[in-house]
Structure formats: C-alpha cells, structure tokens
A and B are shown apart, each in its own frame.
Chain A
C-alpha cells in the first residue's frame, strides 16, 4: 500500500468524504450502542425525531445552532490562515459580558439602538479577548494555541466571578430567585432581540445575523485583497513577507475578526435566548469547542459551517430533550466525537491518494509516465 499526495483535489471528494465520514460515524455509534445493550436503530430514530421532525424541534434546533454557527465561523476564519484560535469559548464569554452590560446600560433607549449597541459591544468584547493571543502571536511569536486556550479559562472564571462572587453591576441582588441562587440581572425589554416566525419555524435575529456574517466571511476570503493576502500568509508566511504583505497586522486583524464573531455569538446568547448573563449555562455548553469541530468538518468553508451548525445543533438539542428519559446520556458527545474522528481521518483521502498494489518480488522496471 502506498500513500501519495494528490496534485489536484477533485471537487466531488470534498463532499463525498464528509458524507462517508458521517455514515461511518453512525455505524460506529451504533456499534457502541449495541455493545452496551441499547437498540441502535431505535436510539438513532429517537435522536433524529427529537432533533428535526418532532413538533417544534426545528425551532429548538435553530436555538442550539445559533451559537455554534458563530463559534464555527470564529474558528473557520482563523484556521483558514493557519492561525489556531481555539479561544472561541472565551471570546464568546467576553462578548456575552460586554453585550449584557450594553443591554443593561441602554435600558431607556429605543430597541433598535440598544440591540445595535449590544451587537457592537459583543463584537468588541470578543475581539478584545482575542486580541491578547493575537498580539502575542504577531509581535512576540508566542504560540496562539495555548494562550487562546488558557484565556478560555481566565474569561470563564471572570464570568462566573461577576455573577457568583461579587456585587457587580451585572448581578441581580433584589429579586426573590436571585437571593436563593445568584443570577444575572434580567435584561430590559428594549434589549430583547426580535425573532420572526415563518411556517411555524422561529428564526431569531442571532441566527439571521450568523447567516449574513457567513456570507460576509465568504466574500471577504473569496473576493477581497485582504482575504487573498490572509490566505497567502496562511500558506507561506515567508513568501507573503517577501511579497511585501504586512503579516503581523494581518495576524492581529484576523484574530480580532475571529474573536468578534464569537463575541456577537455571546451577545446573541444574552439578547436572543437567555435574557441575562448566565455563567452556568454558558460555561456548561462548550460552544467554543463544538465550533472548532464544525469548522474542521466544514473544511473552514463559512457556508458549510452554518449548514453543519444546524446539523450538530440538532444533535445537541436532541441531547437536551432526551436527557431525562431512558436515553443513554453522553451519546451526543460520543457521536460528535466519532463524527469528528471520521472526518479528520477522511481528510487523508482528500489530500492523498491511497494505492493498493502487490509488492513486486523483484524490483519492477520503472513504468514510463503516461503522457497526457
């Protein structure tokens, strides 16, 4: 067996391989269920029903998909540049903190102003968190993988601290519930993000924003000079520098953009769904890490990210819905992991060609290259 690099990657492969990975992951997941004594087909059918076909399931899936789309875009835009920002988690927290602050401060302004300010504040909060590893990487060449990962915890702990361990502006200390268990202040009416219902499917503003931003990211990479330069830097930083591109600024800019996307996702959590700063809910969800999974699955294509966020969001939503029943807990994580393993392994077949050939007993004469 020989593995050799493909000179060209056929287009159909980038659809066929993820599809095959999905099938393989389903089979492996079924095997796990079978070994542990659960009926696989029935479990998967219930998973699918709870995610997509049950009454109101689609709307709930959109709710789960929204943050994943944001963190997926956050990872995709940076990974495209070979900039491994795995701090989407912390950047989302940052955006949630600043977004909620903006929403509370602007309680007496008209709703569009308050919402616009929340989006901007969320983007700024996320960008600020991402700027730290971005700056360190650009100017001190510090590995951004670990610094962005560490900041996830720093910002997560600050988030918890703001609500659980201090009398901050964001914490509610008056209400009955708030004295039983610490919680954030409820956002005012003006800071509640609108949602539109089409044929019974509720589409929150955050989801529509994510779709729009995915298109914007696609256009940025496919249609602008900035996007082109970023990809050149990603492929070969040295070549880019010789060509006169400003690599350091681009690294910082892409990190900030990436963080801003996750940050808007955080603001959307405040405005669309939770209506308060909710440390427990946010830290338990692990949106940032799932976003990286989605970005890798979608091969860093922003449009694919939104589609996949919908799929994985469905899985997560099903996990919540079925949690209490006699459904194997942890199956959702197992399935997500398996899908990712298979997709990662499948990547080999996109980039390389695997040839099976019988090992010749004697060194065979070298065949001439067929002329094209």
Chain B
C-alpha cells in the first residue's frame, strides 16, 4: 500500500516541493510589498552553500549545528537580498535587471561556486543532515504515514511558515501595511508608512526564506554540495508565486504539485513505464503561463491579481 505509485509520488512530491515552498513564500513576501526579486536562484544557492559550510566546519551537536546551519543560510541569503533592496529601493534601479544581476552574481558560476570551491566543500557528504524525526510506528501508517509523518523537520517548519505568513499578511497591522505598500505606495506613504523600510525588510526576509529553501537541498534532499544543485528551483519558485495567485496557502498546494511532477518520472520508471522527464518538467512552466493568462483577464485581476505596484520603484516626488 505504502509502495503504491500514488503514495510514493505524493510523499516524494512533498519532499521535492519543500525547497520550492520556502523560496516561493519568501518571494511572495517580497512581492506583496511591491518588490519583484528575480534573484531567488542565486539566493538559494548562496543559502545552500553557506548552510552546508556550517555543517561541515562547526563542531557541535547534530541538532545545534543543523539549526545554526539554517540560520547561517538565512543570513547569507538575506545579505544577498539586501543588495537587491539597496539597488531597487534606494537607488531606484530596474527590478528585473537587478534581480537577474543577483542571480548572475550569486548563482551557479558566481559567488556560490566561488565559495563552494574556495571553502573546499564539494565531493564530501554532509556530516549532519536532516532526518525523519517521528517514530517508526507513525511512519508505517497506511497512506498518511509516508506522506505526513515520514518527512523531515524542514517540512513541518515550512507548514508553520505558511501559517505564519498567511496570518501575518491577513491579520496583523504590519502585514496590512506591507500589502498597502505593495498595492499603492503613495497611499501608504500618505498614511505615514515608511515605504522604503517596509520594502527593505520584506525583501530581506524573503531572501532569508529562499536561503532556507536552498539549505533544504544541501542538508536534506541532496545532502552534499554540488555546484548549481538547485537546478532552476528558484525560477520555479517565482512561477509558483504567480501560480498561487500570491496566496501563501495556495503556494503549499502548488509546491507539492510541482514537486510531485518532479518525482513522477522516477516513480513511473520503477513501474516500468518510461516517460520523458524533460517533457513532464515543462508542465509547471507551461501551467504558470496559462495561470498568468487567466490572472490577466480584467475580472480576475481585480480579485486575485498581482500587487498593483509590483516592480515599480516608489519616488515620493514623482507622483
């Protein structure tokens, strides 16, 4: 039962979907405040390499070092996001170009490769990695066992993050202010909200979450450092935010759906069905295009569209 195709695909879809979920949540937080950050891939890779470095070089207990690694990953990726925030908020640069620059700077062939090589990280397995913490009896339950209970702490923390982000955006004053900044910075400014500060904070927090997503690869899924190990997950995360209509809860569903599509070809091969993984992998991207077309119809845009000020710098004097 637990080895049936559907259970395997869903269970591993949750695994593959988790880094996407973290990164997409981060991007969502930034985009809700009006900052489009196309540097997710780069931030994830820097998070992955720095998290892995912590695990290899810091010698304390397993739990402590893993927690520290997640913290370091978040900090490093947050620092990358700070560059983007400085450029687009303070220096009013084009958000698209700045985000792409961040991916070139930090991503594969950039800083993450530089650090991976310079700190001599590739080629050895992680000294500590995330494991499945729940008791075996729970994991062996039919169907729900592998899907819900056979996962790493990172999965459970990601659920917590979804709830927190959703509550924050929906019910707190700061969340409301952040959304106001993303929808209409001029109105927010008139209300006395510090637009620049909100955008800085949300971009950096978003980057930190992307870093955790990257560390999910190097400390759980892969678990080692390979140059460019995210293999485009950052771009899927950006797609996912649109696919989820900028809603945290939809992100969760979308992430696992996209994750399941990654898992599907392998699982099918085990059942002697050969289907091209490449072609299946095009589905998330094509579906995002379709979703985007649906969002851009007039009715939908009013109800579930992108933050109105997404991608636009805010300059008080130029309103």
Q: Is residue A340 within 8 Å, beta carbon to beta carbon, of the partner chain?
A: yes
Check B161 for interface membership: any CB of A closer than 8 A: no
* A153 partner, pick from B108, B285, B297, beta carbons under 8 A: B285
CB-contact partner of A166 in B111, B115, B276, B306, under 8 A? B276
Q: Which residues of A contact B289 (CB under 8 A)?
A: 132, 136, 146-147, 150-151
Complex Cα gap A151–B108 (Å): 20
Main SS class of interface, B? helix
* Chain B residue with the shortest CB-CB distance to A344: B93
Chain A: CB-nearest residue to B277: A165
* A212 within 8 Å of B (CB atoms): no
- Assess the B104–A330 pair: CB atoms within 8 A: no
Known contacts A330-B110, A332-B109, A340-B97, A157 near B281 by CB under 8 Å: yes
The number of chain A residues with a CB under 8 A from chain B is: 51
Q: Please pick, from A160, A292, A336, A348, the residue contacting B110 in the complex, using a CB distance under 8 A.
A: A336
- A39 within 8 A of partner (CB): no
Which residues from chain B contact A166 at a C-beta distance below 8 Å?
276
B288 and A146 form a contact (CB under 8 A):
yes
User: How many residues of B are counted as interface, with CB atoms below 8 angstroms from the partner's CB atoms?
Assistant: 54
A6, B114: Cα distance in complex, Å: 39
By beta carbon, the residue of chain B nearest A346 is: B91
The proximity string for B residues 232-256 relative to A, scoring 1 for CB distances below 8 Å and 0 otherwise, is 1001001100100000000000000
Contact across chains for A340 and B281 when beta carbons are under 8 A apart? no
A157 to B285, CA, bound (A): 10
Q: B63 within 8 Å of A by Cβ?
A: no
User: Which A residue's beta carbon lies closest to that of B97?
Assistant: A296
Query: B35-63: contact bitstring with A at CB < 8 Å (1 yes, 0 no)?
Result: 01010000000000000000000000000
**Structural contact, A154 and B278, CB atoms closer than 8 A:** no
Q: Residue B318 at the A interface, CB < 8 A?
A: yes
Task: Give 1 or 0 for each of A244-286: 1 = CB within 8 Å of chain B CB.
Answer: 0000000000000000000000000000000000000000001
Q: Which of A10-18, A54-62, A137-145, A186-194 is found at the contact surface with chain B?
A: A137-145
A154–B239 alpha-carbon span in the complex (Å): 13
Q: Mark B180-218, 1 if CB is under 8 A from A, else 0.
A: 000000000000000000000000000000000000000
Asked if B107 is an interface residue, CB under 8 A from chain A, the answer is yes
> DSSP majority for the A interface?
helix
Do B282 and A157 have beta carbons less than 8 Å apart? yes
B238 and A158 form a contact (CB under 8 A): no
Cβ–Cβ contact A344 & B87, under 8 A: yes
Q: Is the CB of B235 within 8 A of A149?
A: yes
Residues of chain A lying within 8 A (CB to CB) of residue B282: 153-154, 157-158
Residues in chain B near residue A143, CB distance under 8 A? 292, 296, 306
Partner of B239, one of A142, A146, A334, A352: A146
Chain B residue contacts of A328, Cβ below 8 A: 114, 117-118
Point out the residue from B87, B111, B235, B296 that lies within 8 Å of A333, measured CB to CB. B111
A residues in contact with B38, CB < 8 Å: 149
Does B270 touch A at the CB level, under 8 Å? no
**What 1/0 flags go to B270-304 for Cβ under 8 Å of A?**
00000011110110011011001101110000000
Report A344 CB to chain B, min CB distance, Å: 4
- Contact check, A36 vs B285: say whether CB atoms are below 8 A apart: no
CB distance from A132 to the nearest CB of B (A): 8
Does A93 have its Cβ within 8 Å of any Cβ on chain B? Answer: no
A279 to chain B, nearest CB (A): 10
Closest B residue, CB atoms, query A133 = B289
In the complex, A348→B98 CA distance in Å?
Answer: 13
Contacts A/B (CB < 8 Å), 9 sampled: A145-B36, A147-B292, A158-B278, A160-B278, A165-B279, A166-B276, A290-B104, A330-B109, A337-B101
- Shortest 9 CB-CB contacts between residues of A and residues of B: A337-B105, A333-B110, A330-B114, A330-B113, A340-B101, A161-B278, A333-B109, A344-B93, A142-B296
